[in-house]
Amino acid sequence: MTASASTAPTPTSSALTAKPLRLRRMGIDTYQEPVLYMHRDCHVCHAEGFQAQSRVEVRLNGRAIVATLNVVTGELLALDEAGLSEAAWRLLQAKPDDSVSMHHPPLLESMSQVRAKVYGRRLNQAGLDAIIRDVAAGRYSDLQLATFVTACAGDRMDLNETIALTRAMVNAGERMQWGDGLVMDKHCVGGLPGNRTTMLIVPIIAACGLRMPKTSSRAITSPAGTADAMETLAPVDLDVPQIRRVVEQTGGCIVWGGGVRLSPADDILIRVERPLDLDSQGQMVASVLSKKVAAGSTHVLIDMPVGLTAKVRSDAAAHRLGHELEQVGKALGLHVRVVQTDGVAPVGKGIGPALEAIDVLSVLQGDAAAPQDLATRALFLAGQILEFGGATPLGQGLAKATEVLASGVAWAKFQQICEAQGGMRTPPVAPYQQPVLARHSGTVIAIDNRRLARIAKLAGAPNTPCGGLYMHVQPGAVVERGQPLFTVHAATPGALAYALEYAGAPAEAVHVMEEAL
């Protein structure tokens, strides 16, 4: 979720003397960043000293946003016009030819805390509260957000800072309350393409009588997040009353958390983390657990895949991260249980929003060709949650989860959830597909999760839902020269060519040990 428009304070004297500008919708997609466009010779630019990349407060009908200025030359804009990107237009709820006033934004005092972190100082609760309040209010430019994200990357946040950051992120948004009783949740640390178990687990848990209102983020460094995949099957951008209605009707939901201002600063930070390809441990812990606290969860199971090309690469790293998740959860009143799982290879066959959703449907529908590794992993985790929540005795969770899936009860519950969220739909299919073939005969000895994820992203995932790739092999498979290893899916010829060029690089995503002559 991006910044929200705030109530505008009293204009400064300089702004009151400036002639308002007429708004123009530029039709430019700047993702979630509000961008303002003005002519270089505009009287406001001259009067206020605005230059390219200046931060400008734009006010309209009592609403205000802070936008980054792009300066225009030529005839694209008249001298008395101000153009807005799509994100800025939505936030201001603007109409064509509305008149707006421009102002210098208030001094961003919290940037002093960010600079202190850059130079190695620890941040306390007050400092992080100030930073996150400003982030959530949209006062940080993407450049300033990137500075904060980078300053906290690596091992630069200790446990106390991570707890403080998590609290600050919770306090900056709304919190859901579910009354008495347990509220179950689950999160995967990530780094394992295709691991779309949540969409199987939620209907199983809900069918067993436990509440599981699942709010998910969109992808940060992966080709798809749960919200991205679920969105190809049903609406995920629900508000709090809609989520409550769905959960009351069905016992569960699978929605995008950014649409309801649950830890809203997290979604703004994700906007910058994605292109930077950064997902540091402290910020990841704060991101995950702030959403769980804000969503009203009481019990959270963390799936932690471990493998050489997964996000968590060793048992030692898994232990450190698991300990931090448990300690931060405890500090915020959450019961957190961490389960370490195999992170050697992708899970399922599809990598990318629509392809992963198709895998989920095949498992729920009992298709004979459904990926069994996805079903097995989801059932194991669902069994752990059933035991964690007391729905079954210890040791009997897996059997109960298997029964619910095999009987079709989970499929019926999933359809009910989709209908309650706004109606079930068919995931899109990519119009351009091309297989990547084995260069020689042999045995698949390793799969590089990171390279596969990069190929899927170059093919358009997650922004293009049908983009990604479909796996034909797993480690241990025996292949012949010329046999497909995976098929790249794309919405355009350009995206397909871009992904195939990377897939054909000398460093292979699927390693085949050549047969001895």
Listing DSSP states for 2-67 in one string gives -PPPEE--PPPHHHHHSPPEEEEE-----TT--EEEEETT-HHHHHHT--TT-EEEEEETTEEEEE
Instruction: Tell how far CA 3 is from the center of its chain.
Output: 16
Q: Is the model's pLDDT at 401 over the cut of 50?
A: yes
Q: Is the model's pLDDT at 222 over the cut of 80?
A: yes
Range name among 124-133, 260-269, 354-363, 419-428 with the lowest pLDDT average: 260-269
Range name among 272-281, 339-348, 497-506 with the lowest pLDDT average: 272-281
Beta strands 99-103 and 55-60: pairing type?
antiparallel
Q: Given this model, what pLDDT does residue 507 score?
A: 67
Q: Given this model, what pLDDT does residue 260 score?
A: 79
What's the average model confidence in pLDDT over 346-368? 97
What's the average model confidence in pLDDT over 103-121? 95
**Percent helix / strand / coil, the chain, rounded to 5:** 40, 20, 40
What's the average model confidence in pLDDT over 71-90? 95
Q: Is the model's pLDDT at 24 over the cut of 60?
A: yes
Distance CA 254, CA 246 (A): 10
Q: Is the model's pLDDT at 454 over the cut of 60?
A: yes
Q: Which residues are catalytic?
A: 279
Dump pLDDT digits (tens) for 142-181.
899 999 999 999 889 999 999 999 999 999 998 999 999 9
The residue count for the chain: 517
Q: Given this model, what pLDDT does residue 13 score?
A: 40
Name the one residue in this structure whose structure tokens are 């990377």.
502
Q: Given this model, what pLDDT does residue 10 score?
A: 46
Q: Is the model's pLDDT at 8 over the cut of 70?
A: no
Q: Given this model, what pLDDT does residue 275 score?
A: 78
Q: Is the model's pLDDT at 17 over the cut of 60?
A: no
Counting residues of the chain whose pLDDT is more than 70, the rounded percentage is 95
Q: Given this model, what pLDDT does residue 363 score?
A: 98
Distance CA 348, CA 356 (A): 8
**What are the angstrom distances between the C-alpha of 445 and each of 228, 345, 510, 513?**
31, 11, 8, 6
Q: Is the model's pLDDT at 252 over the cut of 60?
A: yes
What's the average model confidence in pLDDT over 5-23? 59
What's the average model confidence in pLDDT over 239-245? 93
Q: Is the model's pLDDT at 2 over the cut of 70?
A: no
Name the one residue in this structure whose structure tokens are 């995206």.
495
Q: Given this model, what pLDDT does residue 4 score?
A: 56
Tokens of 328: 């931060």
Among 26, 28, 39, 23, residue whose Cα is nearest residue 74? 39
What's the average model confidence in pLDDT over 179-184? 95
Give the number of other CB atoms < 10 A from CB of residue 310: 25
Q: How many Cα atoms occupy the beta-carbon half-sphere of 169 within 13 Å?
A: 31
Name the one residue in this structure whose structure tokens are 């990069």.
454
Q: Given this model, what pLDDT does residue 16 score?
A: 41
Among 404, 416, 405, 420, residue whose Cα is nearest residue 364? 405
What's the average model confidence in pLDDT over 246-271? 88
Q: Given this model, what pLDDT does residue 105 score?
A: 92
What's the average model confidence in pLDDT over 305-330? 93
What's the average model confidence in pLDDT over 88-113? 94
Query: First CA to last CA across the chain, in angstroms?
Result: 57
Mean pLDDT value across the chain: 92
